[in-house]
Amino acid sequence: MTARTEDQPRTNAAPVIEIRDLHKSYGSLEVLKGVDLVAPRGHVVSLIGSSGSGKSTLLRCCNLLEDSQQGEILFEGEAVRWKGEGMARHPADRAQVIRIRTNLSMVFQQFNLWSHLTILQNVMEAPVTVLGRPRAEVEAAARRYLDKVGIGDKCDAYPAQLSGGQQQRAAIARALCMEPRALLFDEPTSALDPELEQEVVRVIKALAEEGRTMLLVTHDMRMAADLSDHVVFLHQGRIEEQGPPDRLFGAPQTDRLRQFLSVTA
């Protein structure tokens, strides 16, 4: 992939996700302290930083799984509508929230598969029950996506019968079956041992090569360097540094990023 050369990636179309001056607190603990973020269509944006820097919180705010107290969130140019202020602020339009969430499929660290359903049923469940798509159409798509991630032969297995890497690939197939505008990954490989981690990395790389829009929180600096169009380094709830991966990893500008990379190398 060819890295971008500017500080913020740009495109003529409205970005899939745009964040402006986002603030998020848990009581007196301010986790995000005015963050701006752009994820254009077809770009991979990686979020890196130490534990507690706000990466996962930012991802959950993008998907409206967390309410923020200040700032704007836009999906394909459409601003989320809010009511209330400060700690009382929450989305004003439930239908808008559902529509945005169904277009931003999230892949979690811990897979979150339903243990009582087969892998095929897991992948089919949301498109059928949430989107109301015809079951036969969804089953064909689900089988196609399970083949795509390399576990088409596991359709009738249950999650407990799969390795961690296979379960995470099933979770990716489930996200793809929603036909989302963007995929959000929250540390998708951190719960896996190195061999299983590479199974998942290969799938994510293939998705990046297809030009899918992705927002990726990761501890894997090699994956961030290889896949990203743009990398954002968060430190203590603020963006300390951002830019194309060759510059951030090859010539970091701030002492804090240099220190972080020296520890994670």
Domain ranges of the chain: 17-264
Number of Cβ atoms within 10 Å of the Cβ of 62: 25
Q: What is the mean pLDDT of each run of 10 residues along the chain (265 residues)?
A: 40 85 96 97 96 95 96 97 96 96 92 95 96 96 96 97 95 96 93 87 92 94 93 97 96 96 85
The pLDDT of residue 225 is: 94
Please give the pLDDT value at position 241.
Answer: 97
Can you tell me the distance from the alpha carbon of 231 to that of 241, in angstroms, rounded to the nearest whole number?
Answer: 9
- Tell me if the pTM is above 0.85: yes
Q: For residue 12, what pLDDT is reported?
A: 59
* 74 contact partners, CB below 8 Å, separation of at least 6: 14, 15, 17, 18, 19, 20, 80
Confidence at residue 10, expressed as pLDDT on a 0 to 100 scale: 45
The CATH number of the structural domain formed by 17-264 is 3.40.50.300
> Which of 20-54 are b and which e, b meaning 16 or more Cβ less than 10 Å from the residue's Cβ?
eebbbbeeeeebbbebebbbbbbbbbbbbbbeebb
Residue of 208, 223, 136 whose CA lies nearest to 172: 208
- Determine how many CB atoms are found less than 10 A away from the CB of residue 142: 25
Return the H-helix or E-strand segment holding 115: none
44 neighbors 228 (Cβ within 8 angstroms): yes
